[in-house]
Homo-oligomer: A and B are copies of this chain.
Amino acid sequence: MSKVNITDVILRDAHQSLIATRMRTEDMLPVCERLDRIGYWSLEVWGGATFDACIRYLKEDPWERLRKLRGALPRTQLQMLLRGQNLLGYRHYSDDVVRAFIERAADNGIDVFRIFDALNDIRNMETSISAVRAAEKHAQGAICYTTSPVHGIEQFVTQARQLEELGCNSIVVKDMAGLLTPMTTAELFGALTSTVSLPVHLHMHATAGVAEMCHLKAIENGCRHIDTAISAFSGGASHPPTESMVAALSDSQWETGLDLKALQEIGFYFREVRKKYHQFESEMTGLDTRVQVYQVPGGMISNLHTQLREQGSLNRIEEVLQEIPRVRKDLGYPPLVTPTSQIVGAQAVLNVLTGERYKTISNEVKLYLQGRYGRAPGKVNSMVRQQAIGNEDVIDIRPADLLDDEMDELREETNDITHSEEDVLTYAMFPDIGREFLTERNADILVPEPLEPIGNGQGSQPKPTEFNV
């Protein structure tokens, strides 16, 4: 089996990374027939940010989107990104919510569940993995890639073995920041593919402009599944271009077998689509090798940039960028991905702007230091913990073990506005905007945010936009 398989992220991560997750279902459906004919291993179509953007800005029912895509893509596996015990939200859910969510997602059309935990704490992934297996779908266990004194080939290989033991069907190295280099990728995939018997996928953002090379080195070292984005939404904060990877491999032993001309036509389609969303283009989503210097995701640098500018403190950005690795160290080196990227970033800003480190400590950092997000990869700084939570208890069990079943209560809380189990789950994920969305939907008064007309001049001046990392 030497063929390389492609997961195209055009319908999820690509527009999330480049136009603030704003692509509408109406721009996806017309090209689905063509996408379905390509022969992708899977299409990534769903995740936390797409769900959020659907109800918050686009006023689309995300479950409805999923069903429509399922109908329009009968031959292609549909894939989603799931934050383990956090599902698509920002807190830990009880196991019965996790099971209900996965059961409904599977039933509505998801074939492949990519499951990660921001701390690589596999206890936070166990319930989702077994729920996916129970639904007879593909469970993919993610390793969040990062660099630190407590992260290396050895740790990642151990995690891969554990995910294999938990019954995952495949593993993915998820490099959300684009930190990998070609040489590190070669070593990592050499080690992973020789120790686990599962396929190992690579999901890597192109932020630093090195992702194509990393893909190639991964493939040379046993990787047979890569994530790419159709060229019109590729590069920079997004992913390597599908067409380019297909062309690059075409005369090799790993050729994908995909039709380059058919992909090019899809590329032309999405090039037009992208124009429609010009107001969400950001200067900061292009190539940015600073991730390789600061080891901080590009999206996080963008968000800090925006935040500091709004506070009139843009001149402090260099200090904040240097504070981030220190906060990360104090917290035991969490990978920087939702929600840890927000937690670390916000605390680094506080540490710089208040003029004294940990003078003010965010609630999220306090919860983190109580173990409420799971186990930190390394040792946390005990002085900082003492200052943050004093002698409060620190848990060392799985955070969700403290939670009772929630579904019945969620159903009750929402029986005036929900018509289905899916509605209940929408509310569970995003209580405030979920309630608002369901209420407006029921009253038939949903109005999507307006789009600026193409070519009114705004397009030439990209504005800062918030990105989930």
A216 at the interface (CB under 8 A from B): yes
**Contact assessment for A248 and B287 in the assembled complex, using a CB-CB cutoff below 8 Å:** no
The contact string, 1 if C-beta is below 8 Å from chain B, for chain A 67-91, is: 0000000000000000000000000
Q: How far is the CB of A459 from chain B (nearest CB, A)?
A: 3
A252 at the interface (CB under 8 A from B): yes
Task: Tell me whether A62 is interfacial, beta carbon within 8 Å.
Answer: no
Q: Which residues of B contact A458 (CB under 8 A)?
A: 460
A292 to B263, CA, bound (A): 13
Residue of B nearest to A210 (CB): B248
Q: For A390, what are the chain B residues with a Cβ–Cβ distance below 8 Å? A: none
Distance between A231 CB and nearest chain B CB, rounded to angstroms: 5
Q: A243-B289, A458-B460, A460-B459 are in contact. Are A213 and B248 (CB under 8 A)?
A: yes
Chain B residues contacting A246 (CB-CB under 8 Å) are: 289
Does B247 contact A181, Cβ atoms closer than 8 Å?
Answer: yes
> What is the bound-complex CA distance between A184 and B249, given in angstroms?
11
Interface centre among A182, A213, A263, A454 (most CB of B within 10 A): A213
- Cβ of A264 within 8 Å of any chain B Cβ, yes or no, is yes
Query: A434 to B460, alpha carbons, bound, how many Å?
Result: 36
**A461 and B286 alpha carbons, distance in the complex (Å):** 19
A208: interface (CB < 8 Å)? yes
Those of A412-469 within 8 Å (CB) of chain B: 454-461
Which of A52-60, A99-107, A116-124, A233-241 lines the interface with chain B? A233-241
**A24: interface (CB < 8 Å):** no
A252 touches B183 (CB 8 A): yes
Most buried by B among A184, A261, A292, A455: A292
Residues of B within 8 A of A247 (CB): 181, 208-210, 289, 292
Q: 9 tightest A-B contacts by CB? A: A209-B244, A457-B457, A459-B460, A243-B289, A247-B292, A460-B460, A210-B248, A209-B241, A183-B252
Chain A positions near chain B (C-beta within 8 angstroms): 181-184, 208-210, 212-213, 216-217, 231, 234-235, 240-241, 243-244, 246-248, 250-252, 260-261, 263-264, 267, 278, 286-287, 289-290, 292-293, 454-461
